[in-house]
């Protein structure tokens, strides 16, 4: 028996579904009716846990799309499937119309941890992606220094990770991904989560400046609704676990955005209220299911 036949949720449990979004522009990433089931084994039993179910999502080329939802709803699982770190149990994930099989070398992945190599300098960490692709020393150094200059890290190129602040290390991890021009999809899993509020705002602003005009596609995961609105063209809202896409909402706030005063932007309040209503319903239903 196939997964759909065995685990297809009823209409009463699924709620409204956001099917693939129609768009005039080309599609960068797509999830088609995706399920992911994790199976654990012990000596006496086999346990299956459905992480995401019937996920349908289309990401337009060049857009900034954010995924948000209750804890444990499967946001990071979907991101990992786009990265090729895990495969769907059923359904398909695609980039540029082609199935993603194995590690997706056409995408860059930025996580909460900076994952810098402690034995390499700031410059060495940024250069490494170009070095692995055979780019000559002079060219990779010039490109790395140009990106470090854009995020205010010139003068720190010979420092090691332990000599940098958390915000500086995060800047290095971001430009290490962006310096490789062949990477046109950037996946970001709560990259600013561990940082203090002031540093988060500064890095949100820098990320938008680096992304705007680049033509790159960004899929960003966060728990912070204000951060999602400040950065995104569209926001995909997940149901509680096992997660599916409840709604995809446009963020009709003109660019360039002022992340420091985003609350004052025309259109902020309506989209905030609509998304919070979606999330609040899922959080409430989760508490009811847990007997709270």
The model's pLDDT over 224-264, given as tens digits with 9 standing for 90+, comes to 999 999 999 999 999 999 999 999 999 999 999 999 999 99
* pLDDT per position as a tens digit, 111-163: 989 899 999 999 999 999 899 989 999 999 999 999 999 999 999 999 999 99
What pLDDT, on the 0 to 100 scale, is given for residue 3? 55
pLDDT band of residue 41 (cuts 50, 70, 90) is confident
Cβ of 186: how many Cβ atoms within 10 Å?
23
Average pLDDT score, the chain: 89
| pLDDT of res. 286 | 61
Whether the predicted pLDDT of 43 surpasses 80? no
Q: How confident is the model at residue 193 (pLDDT cuts 50, 70, 90)?
A: confident
pLDDT of residue 287: 59
Give the model's pLDDT for residue 284.
80
Mean of the pLDDT values across residues 16-30?
61
Least confident range from 5-14, 92-101, 232-241, 275-284: namely 5-14
The pLDDT of residue 276: 95
Render pLDDT for 60-112 as a digit per residue (tens, 0 to 9): 999 999 999 998 899 999 999 999 999 999 999 999 999 999 999 889 999 98
User: Residue 168: what pLDDT?
Assistant: 95
- What percentage of the chain reaches a pLDDT higher than 70? 89
**Mean per-residue pLDDT, 205-209:** 95
Q: How much is the pLDDT for 207? A: 96
Give the pLDDT band (50/70/90) at residue 19.
very low
pLDDT exceeds cutoff 70 at 10: no
pLDDT at 288 over 80: no
Question: Which pTM value belongs to this model?
Answer: 0.88
């Amino acid at each position: 028996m196939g997964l759909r036949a065995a685990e297809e949720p009823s209409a009463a449990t699924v709620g409204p579904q956001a099917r693939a979004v129609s768009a005039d522009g080309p599609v960068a990433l797509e999830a088609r009716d995706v399920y992911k089931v994790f199976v654990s084994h012990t000596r006496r039993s086999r346990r299956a846990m459905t992480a995401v179910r019937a996920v349908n999502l289309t990401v337009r080329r060049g857009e900034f799309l954010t995924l948000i939802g209750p804890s444990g709803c499967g946001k990071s699982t979907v991101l990992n499937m786009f990265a090729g770190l895990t495969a769907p149990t059923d359904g398909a994930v695609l980039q540029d119309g082609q199935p993603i099989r194995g590690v997706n070398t056409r995408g860059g992945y930025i996580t909460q941890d900076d994952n810098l190599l402690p034995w390499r300098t700031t410059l060495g960490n940024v250069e490494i992606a170009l070095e692995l692709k055979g780019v000559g020393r002079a060219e990779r150094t010039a490109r790395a220094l140009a990106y470090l200059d854009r995020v205010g890290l010139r003068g720190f190129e010979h420092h090691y990770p332990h000599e940098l602040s958390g915000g500086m290390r995060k800047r290095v991890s971001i430009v290490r991904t962006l310096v490789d021009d062949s990477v046109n999809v950037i996946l970001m899993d709560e990259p600013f989560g561990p940082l203090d509020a002031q540093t988060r705002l500064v890095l949100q602003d820098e990320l938008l400046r680096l992304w705007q005009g680049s033509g790159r596609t960004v899929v960003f995961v966060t728990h912070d609704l204000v951060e999602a609105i400040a950065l995104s063209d569209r926001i995909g809202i997940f149901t509680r676990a096992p997660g599916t896409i409840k709604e995809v909402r446009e963020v009709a706030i003109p660019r360039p955005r002022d992340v420091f005063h985003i609350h004052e932007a025309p259109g902020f309040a309506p989209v905030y209220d609509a998304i919070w209503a979606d999330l609040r319903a899922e959080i409430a239903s989760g508490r009811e299911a847990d007997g709270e």
